[in-house]
Amino acid sequence: MPEIKVIGLFMLTAVTEILGCYLPYLWLREDKSIWLLVPACLSLIAFAWLLTLHPAAAGRVYASYGGVYIFVAIMWLWLIDGIRPSTWDLVGSGVALLGMAIIMFAPRSA
């Protein structure tokens, strides 16, 4: 799977996971409708399914997905929560993305 597709799939996966957790947060902490749990469940189902689309071994996918999740969570902080990431947030997410790239794209013998 070409690298750009892997990263895009990871980003979409992260958005579905964060959305699946953010909607119950809105219900529990922001007094929003309990009906938000329906799209939250659907989002978490999509999250689990999206993780299965990677051709790499599951453990490698889960480990490297974490790096992308960190980056997307920091972007969520900025774009949805309206909190500008600190320099350390950006550096940390950059390190996490580097870790993801090493795990996913390192040359391997067959």
Whether the predicted pLDDT of 110 surpasses 80: no
Average pLDDT over residues 59-84: 93
What share of the chain in percent tops pLDDT 90?
A: 73
Evaluate whether residue 110 is within a structural domain: no
Token digits of residue 19: 């959305």
Is 68 within a domain? yes
pLDDT at position 27, please? 97
Give the residue numbers spanning the domain of 30: 3-105
In a domain, 85, yes or no: yes
Query: How many structural domains does the chain have?
Result: 1
Query: Rounded CA gap, 24 and 29, in Å?
Result: 8
Q: Is 34 within a domain?
A: yes
Considering the entire predicted model, what is its pTM? Answer: 0.86
Is the predicted pLDDT of residue 92 greater than 90, yes or no?
yes
Average pLDDT over residues 49-77: 90
Phi, psi of 75 (to 5 degrees): -65, -35
